[in-house]
Amino acid sequence: MSTTRSSSVEEHIDRIEGEVRQTTSELSEIKETLSALVHTDPEKTECMISWARPNSPKALRGFLGLTGYYQTFIKGYGILAAPFTRLLKKHSFEWDQKAEEAFQALKEAVTSPPTLALPNFELEFIVEADASGTGIGAVRM
């Protein structure tokens, strides 16, 4: 945010209104860009749905690699994928009911992620920020 200096109240209001118009225009551009980015790839999710039950550690690693791409969108991904850890250990790949349930649960979770929604730019935003000499962090509330 910049500091605005003016010689009169009217000039000050005009400058601030101009900055608000410019910011609103920039937000609209950002919204359009984000609209194109916020989605899952139907081709990848179809591949996950049709993925056959892994019959080797290599096949399981392939499935976990594919589903892992979406792990940031899936609440509890690590918990869902945890039963596969023991299967990836050397000489311990034995598919059982627990593994099958985890496999199906993970496929379901990854192929039906929560709807990713863009913020409503008509509403007021509250941003909490923290900065230091080496970094900055912010959270939209």
Residue length of the chain? 141
Instruction: Check residue 45 and give its pLDDT.
Output: 75
Does 115 or 66 have the greater pLDDT score?
66
The domain ranges of the chain are: 9-38+117-140, 42-111
Examine the pLDDT at 58 and tell me if it is beyond 90. Answer: yes
Model-level pTM greater than 0.75? no
Q: In this structure, what token pair is assigned to residue 76?
A: 């509890």
Examine the pLDDT at 133 and tell me if it is beyond 70. Answer: no
Does 33 or 109 have the greater pLDDT score?
109
Residue 25 per-residue DSSP state: H
Give the CA distances from residue 44 to residues 13, 70, 95, 129, in Å, rounded to whole numbers and listed in that order: 51, 10, 24, 36
Among candidate residues 25, 32, 42, the one with its CA nearest the CA of residue 118: 32
Instruction: Check residue 33 and give its pLDDT.
Output: 66
Q: How far apart are CA 110 and CA 70, in angstroms?
A: 7
Examine the pLDDT at 47 and tell me if it is beyond 70. Answer: yes
